[in-house]
């Protein structure tokens, strides 16, 4: 039994008393409670210690009246059991010490199931227990393109040169890599749902670097396979990316109960283009949370107005909360969404 089921209802395009809200990276450095844990443990330690991961997952839900929790984890976790040596370097982000560059590297990757990631499932079980049905818990995974971009570039990237080079020069190796990643992601998300995740989000954060035709050819079939693989479950699936203004229709075609959009696409345009048969999530610019409250209010109000009175809308940012975001502005944004959207 869930006490607050606004988020799940909105995913299913059922009417709600007000618009549900949660934030990507809502458990993060902007919170004192989170920094206190991270002062003693690395990101990977927190991810791999179910008690810590569950504890961090609950921090934002304990502090703000959010309508969903999201399990604390990192999209790159599934790469380690595939044979990748992963490190998080301070101020630099993830570094992959053995990047994938050719067909032999791709073949050497292990197509694992979710078993080695059981610590995430255990964290989900603990977080569900600790939440006591207050709000639903979201699981998540990185999408194959975004994972492939880290695997191939060896970390984050600006031009995705090596990633696209593999697409163009070695399409066989590319598709084989995407198949392997899609298989791992599918079983990982299934395992999260079995462990108790009541919805899942697929993060294709960097797919917006692609032209629509390249998305259709090199990405869409693999993402579609993931959503088809999840159809047996009844957990709603959120399909998210940034810079996807020209990819929205293709992302819907690939699948998802909810499409996540960033602030570059006005919410009325997103709703119109995606149609009434899919829910939409977004899309406040995370930097707006650094603005004075009256500016936050103006923008929250505009997004709610653009999203319209119909069901199937979840308020979120267009990307994750930034590290130095003022906590009081996060509080203000959550309250404003609830207050301004009351039916």
Residue appearing with tokens 């995913």: 11
Mapped onto helix, strand or coil, the DSSP state of residue 275 is coil
Cβ at position 208, least distance to a copy of itself in Å: 7
Q: Which of 63, 74, 105, 268 is catalytic?
A: 74
Among 150, 160, 206, 313, binds a copy of itself (CB under 8 A): 160
CB-based contact 200:138 (threshold 8 Å): yes
Q: Quote the CA–CA distance of 183 and 226 in Å, as a whole number.
A: 7
> Residue 150 catalytic?
yes
Q: What is the DSSP letter of 320?
A: P
Q: Quote the CA–CA distance of 244 and 248 in Å, as a whole number.
A: 6
Q: Which of 29, 103, 216, 302 is catalytic?
A: 29
119 binds a copy of itself (CB under 8 A): no
Q: What are 155's strand-pairing partners?
A: 95
Q: Quote the CA–CA distance of 224 and 99 in Å, as a whole number.
A: 26
Q: Looking at 35-43, 134-142, 158-166, 329-337, which segment touches a copy of itself (CB under 8 A)?
A: 158-166
Q: How long is the chain?
A: 343
Site residues (CB under 8 A) for a copy of itself, limited to 204-233 = 208, 210-214
165 binds a copy of itself (CB under 8 A): yes
Quickly list DSSP for 191-256: HHHHHT-SEEEEEETTGGGS-HHHHHHHTHHHHHHHHHHTTTS---EEEEESS-TTTHHHHHHH--
Taking the alpha carbons at both ends of the chain, their separation in whole angstroms is 24
Q: Which is nearer to a copy of itself, 235 or 288 (CB)?
A: 288
CB-based contact 293:314 (threshold 8 Å): no
Q: What are 142's strand-pairing partners?
A: 203
Q: Looking at 16-24, 27-35, 153-161, 309-317, which segment touches a copy of itself (CB under 8 A)?
A: 153-161
Cβ at position 321, least distance to a copy of itself in Å: 11
Cβ at position 18, least distance to a copy of itself in Å: 23
Site residues (CB under 8 A) for a copy of itself, limited to 255-294 = 263-266, 269, 285-288, 290-292
Closest CA to 91 of 142, 141, 146, 156: 156
Q: Looking at 84-92, 159-167, 187-195, 327-335, which segment touches a copy of itself (CB under 8 A)?
A: 159-167
> Residue 25 catalytic?
yes
Q: Which of 6, 25, 128, 271 is catalytic?
A: 25
Site residues (CB under 8 A) for a copy of itself, limited to 167-206 = 168-169
> Residue 34 catalytic?
no
Q: Which of 12, 38, 101, 216 is catalytic?
A: 38
Cβ at position 292, least distance to a copy of itself in Å: 6
Q: Which is nearer to a copy of itself, 164 or 190 (CB)?
A: 164
Cβ at position 169, least distance to a copy of itself in Å: 6
Count of residues interacting with a copy of itself (CB under 8 A):
31
Q: Quote the CA–CA distance of 201 and 217 in Å, as a whole number.
A: 23
> Residue 29 catalytic?
yes
The answer for residues whose C-beta is within 8 angstroms of residue 295's C-beta and 6 or more apart is 288
Residue 149's φ and ψ, nearest 5 degrees, are: -65, -40
Q: Which of 5, 6, 30, 150 is catalytic?
A: 150
Give catalytic residues, as residue numbers: 25, 29, 38, 74, 150
Binding site for a copy of itself (CB under 8 A): 159-161, 164-165, 168-169, 208, 210-214, 243, 245-246, 263-266, 269, 285-288, 290-292, 295, 302, 322
């Amino acid at each position: 039994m869930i006490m607050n089921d606004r988020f799940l209802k909105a995913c299913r395009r059922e009417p709600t008393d007000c618009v549900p809200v949660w934030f990507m990276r809502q458990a993060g450095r902007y919170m004192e409670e989170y920094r206190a844990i991270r002062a003693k443990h690395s990101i990977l330690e927190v991810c791999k210690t179910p008690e810590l991961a569950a504890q961090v997952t609950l921090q934002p839900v304990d502090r703000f009246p959010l309508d969903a929790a999201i399990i604390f984890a990192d999209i790159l976790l599934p790469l380690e059991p595939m044979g990748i040596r992963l490190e998080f370097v301070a101020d630099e982000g993830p570094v992959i010490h053995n990047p994938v560059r050719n067909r032999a590297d791709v073949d050497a990757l292990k197509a694992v199931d979710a078993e080695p990631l059981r610590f995430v499932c255990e964290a989900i079980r603990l977080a569900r227990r600790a939440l006591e049905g207050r709000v639903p818990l979201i699981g998540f995974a990185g999408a194959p393109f975004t994972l492939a971009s880290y695997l191939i570039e060896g970390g984050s990237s600006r031009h995705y040169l090596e990633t696209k080079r593999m697409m163009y020069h070695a399409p066989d190796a590319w598709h084989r890599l995407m198949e392997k990643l899609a298989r791992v992601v599918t079983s990982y998300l299934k395992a999260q749902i079995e462990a108790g995740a009541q919805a899942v989000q697929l993060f294709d954060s960097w797919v917006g670097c692609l032209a629509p035709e390249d998305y259709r050819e090199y990405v869409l079939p693999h993402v579609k396979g993931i959503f088809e693989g999840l159809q047996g479950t009844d957990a709603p699936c959120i399909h998210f990316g940034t810079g996807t203004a020209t990819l929205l229709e293709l992302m819907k075609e690939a699948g998802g109960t909810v499409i996540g959009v960033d602030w570059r696409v006005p919410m009325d345009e997103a709703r119109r283009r995606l149609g009434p048969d899919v829910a939409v999530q977004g899309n406040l610019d995370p930097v707006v949370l650094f603005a004075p409250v009256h500016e936050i209010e103006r923008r929250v109000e505009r997004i709610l107005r653009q999203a319209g009175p119909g069901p199937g809308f979840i308020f979120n940012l267009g990307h994750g909360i930034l590290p130095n975001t003022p906590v009081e502005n996060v509080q203000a944004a959550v309250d404003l969404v609830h207050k301004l959207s009351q039916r």
